[in-house]
Amino acid sequence: MTAMPGTKFALGIDFGTESGRVMLVRADNGEEVAWSLVPYPHGVIDRALPDGTPLKADSALQDPRDYLVVLDQGVPEALRKSGVSPADVIGVGIDFTACTMLPALAGGAPLCTLPQYTANPHSWVKLWKHHAAQPQANRINELGARRGEEFLTIYGGKYSSEWFFSKLLETLEEAPEIYAAAERFLEGADWIVWQMTGRESRNECTAGYKGMWIKGRGFPSRDFFRALDPRLENVVAEKLSSAFLPLGAKAGGLTEAMAARMGLVPGAPVAAGNVDAHAGVPACGVTEPGRLAMIMGTSICHMLLGRERQIVEGMCGVVEDGIVPGYWGYEAGQSAVGDIYAWFFRVFDADPTAVTGKAARLQPGESGLLSLDWWNGNRSILVDADLSGVILGLTLATRPEEIYRALVESTAFGTRVIIDAFEQKGIPTRDIVACGGLAEKSPLVMQIFADVTGRQIRLPRSLQASGLGAAMHGAVAAGYYKDIAEAAGHMAGLQDRCYQPDPAAHAVYNQLYQEYRTLHDYFGRGANPVLKRLRAIRHK
How big is the chain by its Cα radius of gyration, in Å? 23
When asked if residue 511 is in the footprint of a copy of itself (CB under 8 A), the reply is: yes
* Residue among 157 and 365 whose Cβ is closer to a copy of itself: 365
The residue type of 92 is V
Strand partners, 275: 96
When asked if residue 343 is in the footprint of a copy of itself (CB under 8 A), the reply is: yes
Half-sphere exposure of 34 (CA within 13 A, CB side): 20
When asked if residue 452 is in the footprint of a copy of itself (CB under 8 A), the reply is: no
Least separation in angstroms between residue 30's CB and a copy of itself is 36
Least separation in angstroms between residue 436's CB and a copy of itself is 18
CB count within 10 Å of CB 230 equals: 8
> Do you know the residue count of the chain?
540
> According to the 3-state scheme, what is the secondary structure of 107-166?
CCCEHHHCCCCCCCHHHCEECCCCCCCHHHHHHHHHHHHHHCCHHHHHCCCCCCCCCHHH
* Residue among 398 and 495 whose Cβ is closer to a copy of itself: 398
Q: At what angle do helices 484-491 and 465-477 cross, to 10 degrees?
A: 130
Contact between residue 192 and residue 67 where contact means Cβ atoms under 8 Å apart: yes
Least separation in angstroms between residue 4's CB and a copy of itself is 51
When asked if residue 531 is in the footprint of a copy of itself (CB under 8 A), the reply is: yes
When asked if residue 448 is in the footprint of a copy of itself (CB under 8 A), the reply is: no
Contact between residue 196 and residue 92 where contact means Cβ atoms under 8 Å apart: yes
Contact between residue 88 and residue 7 where contact means Cβ atoms under 8 Å apart: yes
User: Which residue, 179, 177, 167, is CA-closest to 211?
Assistant: 167
Residues 361-400 that bind a copy of itself (CB under 8 A): 365-370, 375-376, 388-396, 398-400
Size of the site for a copy of itself (CB under 8 A): 46
d(CA 331, CA 475): 25
Least separation in angstroms between residue 423's CB and a copy of itself is 24
Least separation in angstroms between residue 528's CB and a copy of itself is 6
Residues 15-74 that bind a copy of itself (CB under 8 A): none
The residue type of 444 is L
CB count within 10 Å of CB 260 equals: 11
Least separation in angstroms between residue 445's CB and a copy of itself is 18
Q: Which stretch binds a copy of itself (CB under 8 A): 273-281, 300-308, 326-334, 342-350?
A: 342-350
Single residue of 6, 51, 347, 353 touching a copy of itself by CB under 8 A: 347
User: Which residue, 286, 540, 511, is CA-closest to 416?
Assistant: 511
Least separation in angstroms between residue 370's CB and a copy of itself is 6
The H or E element that residue 439 is part of is helix 437-441
* Residue among 69 and 390 whose Cβ is closer to a copy of itself: 390
Least separation in angstroms between residue 60's CB and a copy of itself is 17
Please tell me whether residue 293 adopts helix, strand or coil conformation: strand
When asked if residue 340 is in the footprint of a copy of itself (CB under 8 A), the reply is: yes
Least separation in angstroms between residue 399's CB and a copy of itself is 7
Q: What are phi and psi of 309, to 5 degrees?
A: -85, 125
> According to the 3-state scheme, what is the secondary structure of 320-379?
ECCCCCCCEEEEEEECCCHHHHHHHHHHCCCCHHHHHHHHHCCCCCCCCCEEECCECEEC
* Residue among 242 and 518 whose Cβ is closer to a copy of itself: 518
Q: Which stretch binds a copy of itself (CB under 8 A): 36-44, 58-66, 192-200, 334-342?
A: 334-342
* Residue among 210 and 405 whose Cβ is closer to a copy of itself: 405
* Residue among 253 and 364 whose Cβ is closer to a copy of itself: 364
Least separation in angstroms between residue 505's CB and a copy of itself is 12
* Residue among 370 and 382 whose Cβ is closer to a copy of itself: 370
d(CA 516, CA 498): 26
Mark residues 402-441: x for contact with a copy of itself by CB under 8 A, - for none.
-x--------------------------------------
When asked if residue 504 is in the footprint of a copy of itself (CB under 8 A), the reply is: no
Single residue of 13, 232, 472, 512 touching a copy of itself by CB under 8 A: 512
User: Which residue, 523, 486, 473, 54, is CA-closest to 246?
Assistant: 473
Least separation in angstroms between residue 179's CB and a copy of itself is 34
* Residue among 310 and 398 whose Cβ is closer to a copy of itself: 398
* Residue among 4 and 537 whose Cβ is closer to a copy of itself: 537
When asked if residue 502 is in the footprint of a copy of itself (CB under 8 A), the reply is: no
d(CA 518, CA 520): 5
When asked if residue 349 is in the footprint of a copy of itself (CB under 8 A), the reply is: yes
CB count within 10 Å of CB 165 equals: 27
Question: What CA–CA distances, in Å, run from 440 to 446, 494, 499?
Answer: 9, 13, 12
Strand partners, 69: none
User: CA 228, 233, 237, 240 torsion: positive or negative?
Assistant: negative
* Residue among 143 and 417 whose Cβ is closer to a copy of itself: 417
Please tell me whether residue 151 adopts helix, strand or coil conformation: helix
d(CA 109, CA 118): 12
Q: Using CB under 8 A, list all residues that contact a copy of itself.
A: 336, 339-340, 343, 347-350, 365-370, 375-376, 388-396, 398-400, 403, 508, 511-512, 515, 518-519, 522-523, 528, 530-531, 533-535, 537-538, 540
